[in-house]
Amino acid sequence: MRRALWLAGVLVALVALNVALPRLLNPYLFQIVVLCGINVILAVSLNLVNGFTGQFSIGHAGFMALGAYGSAMFSLHVGQGWVAALEAGHVPGVVAEGFALLLALLVGGLLSALAGYLVGLPSLRLRGDYLAIVTLGFGEIIRVIITNVDAVGASRGLPGIPGWVNFFWVGLGVAAVIFLSLNLARSTHGRALFAIRDDEVAAEALGVDTTSYKVLAFVLGAFFAGVAGGLFAHYLSYLNPNSFTFLKSIEVIAMVVLGGLGSVSGAVLAAIVLTLLPEVLRPVKDYRMVLYSFMLIVLMITRPQGLLGNRELSLTWLTRRRRRAGAPSA
């Protein structure tokens, strides 16, 4: 019952924001909000792999690309036709497009998840640096394939993707990945992932099937990266392989590390900060990326454990902190 209320609340809030935001914000600001949302999905999903499970994956852009192109191709070749048919049958456009978009996101997500499974199964026997190299290779292979396959536009890019994404869908994706991450973290399965991060040998000796759990984290992370890619594709209506370079993977890793490895709220916060930062720094023009990098370095020196460390931002934590801060003076 409480859960149903929560769900209803989230949906109503998303619909309200979906109506309000485009009216309140200018298109530039609105686009930043949407990109924040997409980056939050990417960061929170990578946090499942790098943060919860302690596996170092640097191929997240590859999974995002698969989801983006997969869902875009689905919409171009199948989804659009269905929307036209549904609208001809007097189904409201919003519903028809939402339905087609949902399917496209699922296709993109599942395609990514499948790739995550195929890459993960053999490579998760590798540790640390070795796994990092494999995931790096995977990401680059995906990008190079896309750059060379004419059917998806090759290096010219893929135009004409239906722009079905509005704030509602991005918000829904954000809510879904956060909901999944938090519930996973506070369950026996989440504890198993943390155990692998802290000590793989001990986890295995205590009955945690470490290989399966690592693959699970990888598949879940890949799925949501794919969903983020799908949202990205259907928001911009145009895809280019250059959006999915190694640098994109690094950007997402920076978000996860800056937020605090393993902290969901940290990943959310850092994704927002690191999406806004380059925009805020636009006035300094040429020095923008220098300043951006410099601020990253300063942040990591002053808070090596990340913005939120291992913690989750919660109301109880905030109130307890305030009480503790107030205690000496009282």
Integer angstrom CA distances of residue 53 from 14, 104, 218, 320: 31, 29, 9, 28
**How far is Cα 198 from Cα 205, in angstroms, rounded to an integer?**
13
Q: Is 297 exposed, middle or buried (0-12, 13-18, 19+ CB in 10 A)?
A: exposed
Residue of 191, 277, 279, 295 interacting with another protein (CB under 8 A): 191
Tell me, residue by residue from 201 to 220, as one string, x for binding to another protein by CB under 8 A and - for no binding: xxxxxxxxxx-----x----
Residue of 73, 192, 227, 231 interacting with another protein (CB under 8 A): 192
> Among 33-41, 101-109, 190-198, 289-297, which window interacts with another protein (CB under 8 A)?
190-198
Residue type, 251: E
Q: Which is nearer to another protein, 148 or 319 (CB)?
A: 319
Q: Is 28 exposed, middle or buried (0-12, 13-18, 19+ CB in 10 A)?
A: exposed
Q: Which is nearer to another protein, 205 or 290 (CB)?
A: 205
> Among 90-98, 183-191, 241-249, 296-304, which window interacts with another protein (CB under 8 A)?
183-191
CB of 9 to another protein, least distance (A): 16
Number of shown-chain residues binding another protein (CB under 8 A): 29
Tell me, residue by residue from 11 to 40, as one string, x for binding to another protein by CB under 8 A and - for no binding: ------------------------------
CB of 55 to another protein, least distance (A): 16
Tokens encoding 191: 């504890």
**Cβ within 8 Å of residue 4, ≥6 positions away:** none
Tell me, residue by residue from 67 to 96, as one string, x for binding to another protein by CB under 8 A and - for no binding: ------------------------------
> Among 23-31, 44-52, 113-121, 196-204, which window interacts with another protein (CB under 8 A)?
196-204
> Among 7-15, 98-106, 192-200, 248-256, which window interacts with another protein (CB under 8 A)?
192-200
Tokens encoding 264: 């969901």
Q: Are 108 and 62 in contact (CB under 8 A)?
A: no
Closest alpha carbon to 234 in 156, 168, 149: 168
Tokens encoding 143: 């990008």
Residue of 184, 239, 269, 308 interacting with another protein (CB under 8 A): 184
Integer angstrom CA distances of residue 127 from 26, 120, 130, 254, 319: 46, 12, 6, 20, 40
Q: Are 38 and 174 in contact (CB under 8 A)?
A: no
**How far is Cα 323 from Cα 65, in angstroms, rounded to an integer?**
46
Residue type, 223: F
3-state DSSP percent of the chain in helix, strand and coil, to 5: 80, 0, 20
Site residues for another protein, window 256-315 (CB under 8 A)?
A: 262, 310
**Residue 195 binds another protein, judged by CB under 8 A:** yes
Q: Which is nearer to another protein, 1 or 88 (CB)?
A: 1
Q: Which is nearer to another protein, 189 or 288 (CB)?
A: 189
Binding interface with another protein (CB under 8 A): 3, 179-180, 183-184, 187-192, 194-195, 197-199, 201-210, 216, 262, 310
